[in-house]
Amino acid sequence: MKIANYSDKKGKISFDIIDGDVKFANMLRRYLMGGVPVYAIDKITVYENSTSFFDEYIAHRIGMVPLTTPEADLDPEGIGFYLDFAGPGTIYSKDIKTNSEAVKIAIDDVPIIRLLEGQILRIECKVKKDLGRNHAKFQSGIASYGVDDDGTIHFWAENLHHMETIELVKRAIKRMDADVKELGEKLKEGLSK
């Protein structure tokens, strides 16, 4: 297998796989989208909500805001986010503050909700690290591929702001490798019984 025509522009990576297998390309695509763990806000505690929105709606909106995800496996219990906002005005993702330098809001200008005069929202948030195949808020990236008549596979991937795309690809390949090795070991154990 050979890689050709590699390009990395504005977080979008594309390359061609020559003499490769479509099954490998599909496996890489699936790991890029749902097999690399990322942090997301998972639970919120509402201390005050005088808006016209249900707590669950606000929790969903905030949970979909991407968080930076370092490679180091940090204890989610030590990572906290909080929001204290009084209207009038629009709450943006940058208004959600954190106590962590490593895990923070990845995009500042995501609109959450608009508050009217006198409306207040005060919440505390807890994070969780999980996989995109378990919930969309943990999706790490998007990827696709196409195959030419000569078998050349045109592959592209894009991050969802948790990490740089090349880092996402590296982590996806690392997890693929670990999972294949674990499967091989389990099969050896099963065959030896």
- Residues 81-100: tens digit of each pLDDT: 999 999 999 999 999 999 99
Q: For residue range 169-182, what is the model confidence (pLDDT) as tens digits?
A: 999 999 999 999 99
pLDDT digits (tens, 9 = 90+) for 98-139: 999 999 999 999 999 999 999 999 999 999 999 999 999 999
Residue spans per domain, the chain: 2-36+140-191, 38-132
- The pLDDT value given to residue 192: 77
**Which 3 state secondary structure label does DSSP give 170?**
helix
Mean pLDDT of the chain: 95
* Residue 190, pLDDT score: 82
> Given 3-state DSSP classes, what are the helix, strand and coil percentages for the chain, each rounded to the nearest 5?
30, 35, 35
In this predicted structure, what is the pLDDT of residue 155? Answer: 98
For residues 145 and 151, is the Cβ–Cβ distance under 8 A? no
For the stretch 135-155, pLDDT in tens is: 999 999 999 999 999 999 999
**Contact at 8 Å (CB) between 89 and 115?**
yes
Return the pLDDT at 113: 96
Identity (one letter) of the amino acid at 6?
Y
Give the separation between CA 25 and CA 15, rounded to whole angstroms: 11
Structure-token pair, residue 101: 């330098």
Superfamily of domain 2-36+140-191: RNA polymerase, RBP11-like subunit (3.30.1360.10)
What's the average model confidence in pLDDT over 48-64? 96
> pTM (2 decimals)?
0.91
Query: Looking at residue 11, what is its pLDDT?
Result: 84
CATH 2.40.37.10 for domain 38-132: no
